[in-house]
A and B are shown apart, each in its own frame.
Chain A
């Protein structure tokens, strides 16, 4: 596979973004879930505010079930996973059946998790499938261009999420350093000034998280 269309490039980029979104938010969900068990510490309104998603939940219990599993909630983990699948399913010949199968498995297991009274027990499987997906794409995708676009999508999403979550400057800087070479090697047209600006922002004493989100979203 040596050449790709604009449409395919878009699907690859968003596949990277959605798999990362699932990966990071499911871990975040784990952390909040644990904290909310005792009814003290972190709360779901704070979670929603950080991720900039509408707080449509009526209670902690409602959040604990609907955020991961509600298919009618566009911000839920399952919806993000299905969007990853929507992009992956049209890329079988580009990413390979073996890679696609891990997204499929993630969906199957996440559906099963929704029926489990202790869904936290199942989140590890989802994380495993996403990690296996990333691992196998590295192994089976011959095209460096495709791998770089996929990883650029993943890194963009991670910088975006980390900035929204107000992660420590060191983490943000590390992710920006990982992002830049992927974008440069992706062969897609991009705005180089955004990468320079992101590096400046991450090196400032006081990080402007909002600005980072804005800049990372306008690279391509």
Chain B
């Protein structure tokens, strides 16, 4: 009788096939680039049909509100004028780009691909940990893993009604086509030494988009072109860029960028190419802004938030600073400017000296940090050297926005291999598992 552990005997074979297909991520350590395999655990995370429907409603709601927020911030700023969000949190955010003021992206969509990180608490409730609205990565890993899992245990997938997640490329292509303003779709990569290069090339293969780097694109007149080997130029209609804002255009952002395309932002501004995701989205996935997302949902949609944030405090506010200092040992503190599991410290893990230094920094730069209750999230079983053990795991859900938000019926479940760690990021040594959404 197939069960959720039926794939365990095939675990080694699946990991070998993942290695064969080059399923890796790159990391820089001590100034050296290394490619690492992303360890796959064969016990899936299983989400029941009803539970996923609930998540789906909450995720769509959240992404709708975030898109409306971005549109508002780069135009009227009504939410600031109405006092819902203090302006400090907008203009002091590293993700806010003044150059984007008044620039309306194609079809008014800012976050085409949103990666929303969630955890399930031991109370059975899902909590949003963070929103990733710039260049969220990770969908390719469960896509290819599912393909291999199905090969290794066809009966499991025949008997258990798991929603097929191999339609991600189709959803992505639909998203690209929806905003395309005329021309080809391209995926812009910083190159093979980027940590997510496997994903860039895999998604290009699966969507039929052209994988390009900055040197293969050029701006002429008011348009963006792909320069072909026979000397011709193909107009580009959509750029799914996997380069961060500051490196995208040396003429408009970081002048030292060698991987960007000079003047691409001018083409975007004129509406002659669609950029996915839009530039300037960082203002909405800032860890400080995260605190305000439930307020945004009420403000823009007039609805109660379906999904909850982890209880969060902003030391920027006096009462929250007081709470943070009084409950320091029970909180996790996050630097709003950091990502990838970096800049996260647990109050109870610090020495007395570290704590004193941190509090001095916190008082000097209160806007820089948020404090959160440590969510005691559910462990998931993984196989560790032949033993079934419990480890912390999160879920990155992907919401793609074309004419409406679409929630991919899967997600990237990352787990910590360290029994004492809550940090699941691949760059910190974590692994991943398939996410099964049951279709009935």
Q: Are A7 and B213 in contact (CB under 8 A)?
A: yes
Q: Are B215 and A7 in contact (CB under 8 A)?
A: yes
A1–B19 Cα gap in the complex (Å)? 26
What 1/0 mask marks residues of chain A from 1 to 28 whose CB sits below 8 Å from any chain B CB? 1011111110000000000000000000
Chain A neighbourhood of B234, CB < 8 A: 3
Size of chain A's interface in residues, with CB distance under 8 A? Answer: 23
Chain B neighbourhood of A48, CB < 8 A: none
Q: Does B227 contact A (CB under 8 A)?
A: yes
User: Which residues of B197-218 are within 8 A (CB) of A?
Assistant: 197, 201-202, 204-205, 208-213, 215-216
Chain B residue, CB-CB nearest to A149 = B229
What 1/0 mask marks residues of chain A from 67 to 98 whose CB sits below 8 Å from any chain B CB? 00000000000000000001001101110110
Select B22's contact among A86, A93, A100, beta carbons within 8 Å.
Answer: A100
Given contacts A89-B192, A97-B21, A100-B22, contact A5 B204 (CB under 8 A): no
A108–B24 Cα gap in the complex (Å)? 14
Closest Cβ of chain A: how far from B271's Cβ, in Å?
A: 24
Q: Are B21 and A104 in contact (CB under 8 A)?
A: yes
Closest Cβ of chain A: how far from B54's Cβ, in Å?
A: 35
Chain B neighbourhood of A100, CB < 8 A: 21-22
Q: Are B229 and A188 in contact (CB under 8 A)?
A: yes
Q: Does A101 contact B (CB under 8 A)?
A: yes
Select A89's contact among B22, B205, B215, B226, beta carbons within 8 Å.
Answer: B22
A89–B200 Cα gap in the complex (Å)? 11
Q: Does A187 contact B (CB under 8 A)?
A: yes
Size category of the B interface is 20 to 34
Chain B neighbourhood of A64, CB < 8 A: none
Given contacts A92-B211, A187-B229, contact A7 B216 (CB under 8 A): yes
Mostly, the B contact residues are: mixed
Q: Are A93 and B205 in contact (CB under 8 A)?
A: yes
Q: Are B201 and A90 in contact (CB under 8 A)?
A: yes
Chain A neighbourhood of B22, CB < 8 A: 89, 92, 97, 100-101, 104
Closest Cβ of chain A: how far from B20's Cβ, in Å?
A: 5
Q: Are A101 and B213 in contact (CB under 8 A)?
A: no
Q: Does A105 contact B (CB under 8 A)?
A: yes
Select A5's contact among B19, B191, B208, B212, beta carbons within 8 Å.
Answer: B212
Given contacts A89-B192, A92-B201, A92-B202, contact A4 B20 (CB under 8 A): no
Q: Does B230 contact A (CB under 8 A)?
A: yes
Chain A neighbourhood of B208, CB < 8 A: 1
5 A-B Cβ contacts within 8 A?
Answer: A3-B234, A89-B197, A90-B201, A92-B211, A105-B20
Query: Measuring CB to CB, which residues of chain B are less than 8 angstroms from any residue of chain A?
Result: 19-22, 184, 191-192, 197, 201-202, 204-205, 208-213, 215-216, 226-230, 232, 234
Beyond A7-B213, A89-B201, 12 extra complex contacts between A and B, CB < 8 Å: A1-B210, A3-B228, A4-B228, A5-B216, A6-B228, A89-B22, A90-B201, A92-B22, A92-B205, A93-B211, A97-B22, A101-B20
